[in-house]
Amino acid sequence: MRKIRKREHVENYLRSTYRGDTLLGDVFLEHNALPDLSLEDIDTKTTFLGKVVDYPIIINAMTGGTDFSREINRELSLIAKTFNIPMAVGSQTIALCEDEECKDSFRVVRENIGEEGIVIANLNAQASLEDVRHALEMIDADAIQLHLNPAHEVVMLEGDRDFKGILNNIESLAKNIEKPIIVKEVGFGISNEVAKRLYNAGVKYIDVSGAGGTNFIEIENMRYNSIDLSDIYSWGIPTALSIIECRKVSKELNLIASGGIRTSMDIIKAIVLGGDMVGISGEILSYLLHGGYNNAKAYLETTIYKMKILMLLLGKRNIEELKNADYKLTGKLRELVKDS
């Protein structure tokens, strides 16, 4: 059942039509006509999970557990290796059994990226300590994403209906796991209040995964259309708002900005708003599935080149300077921040 569902999720993503608003369009960045820099001066390197990466970009969690997803993970991991950026695998719940074929669809990521690169494991935040250790060991992961997905599960016909005790479980895992824990939403955003509760529970890495990207309510609705859920497709905290609100919690919080990140401008704005790293999933998957490895690689090359152009036009030499860039909020985002 899980294998079938994994494939359906990818196929339905490609057929999905609903596109929410990240509200990143409501972020204004001022042009610097005197940047006093050359393009060659721009340094996009940063440190994440104790390792230096060439760009503040993560290939975020997508899939795994089937032959179909093994090939996706193989090609994505080759891209991660080429650009020296981290990659997170999809949920490993399907591979916690003794099915070696399932495990191989995840192990291929570490095999391709090598010991020097960053690989991130992935399980539901309700996972046991034993399962988390198993998932980490399976791919020799540098950290694990624990995903929060009540909106996804509750609309899934065979999904969970009970979400009690999750924060306590996360707190216990944070105390007993030697490697970093990244708590991640799956496309509906993390609020300031939830970020505070996670931080106080010992979580130092949060991936906001805001609304505006992959919409799992629509994707599940396409799997089982006996009930029309289209009136709640818009549910969630827009990515831009989630970044701003989570950043307020602490300067020490390591914030990953994701959810509808598609362009170089999205990446730049997400970092300016408070992201330390930026996660991309759906967009790079689309390029991969529609044109293969070279198409996805070209997308990332072009995106990175335009990132450097934008950093130059802001007069920001490196990622730390970029984080301190001034910005103004407009439209709906300005109103939401003002009211928060």
Condensed to tens digits (0 to 9), the pLDDT of residues 38-83 reads 999 999 999 999 999 999 999 998 776 566 788 999 999 999 999 9
Give the global pTM: 0.94
Q: Averaged over 149-161, what is the pLDDT? A: 89
Could you tell me the domains of the chain?
2-28+49-303 (3.20.20.70)
Tens of pLDDT, residue by residue over 285-336, are 999 999 999 999 999 999 999 999 999 999 999 999 999 999 999 999 999 9
Phi first, then psi, for residue 175 (nearest 5°) are -80, -25
Q: Which residues of 220-238 are buried (b: 16+ CB within 10 A; e: fewer)?
A: bbbbeeeeeeeeebebbbb
Average pLDDT value for the chain: 93
- Dihedral of the alpha carbons of 123, 300, 70, 95, in degrees to the nearest 10: -10
| Phi and psi, residue 233, nearest 5° | -60, -30
Ramachandran class of 312: left when φ > 0, alpha when ψ lies in -120 to 50, beta otherwise: alpha
User: Over 70: is that where the pLDDT of 31 sits?
Assistant: yes
Look at residue 2 in the predicted model and tell me its pLDDT: 58
Q: For the segment 86-114, what is each residue's pLDDT rounded down to a tens digit?
A: 999 998 988 887 577 789 989 999 999 99
- Nearest CA to 105 among 143, 137, 133, 77? 77
Distance spanning both ends of the chain, measured CA to CA:
42
- Asked if residue 291 lies in contact with residue 272, where contact means CB atoms within 8 angstroms, the answer is no
